[in-house]
Structure 1
């Protein structure tokens, strides 16, 4: 039976540079690639050497979708939850849904395009 891992997620955003910078500040990731999308528009890949998020824009304002249509949230694991929350707040975004649970702690935030992120720490 095959096995696999999630290599990347591709999401449409209004400003790929802004979204890329937030994830670099939040997770210590780096920009892996940027360029024209095969379907037009621009894309920035930001992540580590094995996994990334592709932030795409077509240059037009994307139609907004309600949570869960089609994506509920993306989650990232960090080693310093309090530091991560400061990065989110300093970006002008509002952390919510704080929870301590077995085995970790977490909070959520919506980015500028309404994409929900979960930030979790298992320390």
Structure 2
């Protein structure tokens, strides 16, 4: 059997357009698909943002729900890891977008840093080059 490939992860965000624009700007991704407003589970809306083979499904309920503490909530995502070729260039984009990189590390097999988006979602950016 061939190795399985992770296609997507679904995360809850407060603002679909803001999150999609951030992901497109920082990582060169695109909105691949959009739900009609209220067309998803629980009356929410989903968009798919990524490349041709993998993506993040971003979902919003439309209300202000408090974010869970991901490391204490079973089933919550702790962070999202994104591989890039030029770590320094992406870090400059992250800073220009108003986010604060943290937890820089340089160990095998690569260099990395983290930042939290406007919803507090932690994103790890790593380069193996």
TM over 0.5: yes
Supply the RMSD in Å over aligned alpha carbons: 1.4
Q: Tell me, in whole angstroms, the C-alpha distance in 2 between the residues paired with 1:17 and 1:85.
A: 22
Out of 107, 110, 113, the residue aligned to residue 107 of structure 1 is: 113
- The alpha carbon displacement at 1:27 in A equals 1.4
Counterpart of 1:32 in structure 2 is 32
Give the gaps of 5 or more residues in structure 1.
Answer: none
Write out the 4+ residue segments of structure 1 that deviate beyond 3 Å after TM superposition: none
Q: What are the Cα deviations for residues 14-33 of structure 1, in whole angstroms up to 9, with x where unaligned?
A: 11111111111121111101
Matches within 5 A, 1:1-40: 3-36=3-36, 37-39=39-41, 40=43
Counterpart secondary structure, 2:114: strand
Structure 1 residue 52 corresponds to structure 2 residue 55? yes
Q: What are the Cα deviations for residues 44-100 of structure 1, in whole angstroms up to 9, with x where unaligned?
A: 111111100011111101221113232111100011111111121122111000111
Q: Tell me, in whole angstroms, the C-alpha distance in 1 between the residues paired with 2:54 and 2:13.
A: 19
TM-score (norm 2): 0.88
- The alpha carbon displacement at 1:2 in A equals 6.8
Give the gaps of 5 or more residues in structure 2.
Answer: none
Structure 1 stretch displaced more, 80-89 or 31-40: 31-40
- The alpha carbon displacement at 1:119 in A equals 0.3
Out of 62, 65, 70, the residue aligned to residue 68 of structure 2 is: 65
| Alignment length (residue pairs) | 123
Q: Tell me, in whole angstroms, the C-alpha distance in 1 between the residues paired with 2:108 and 2:21.
A: 31
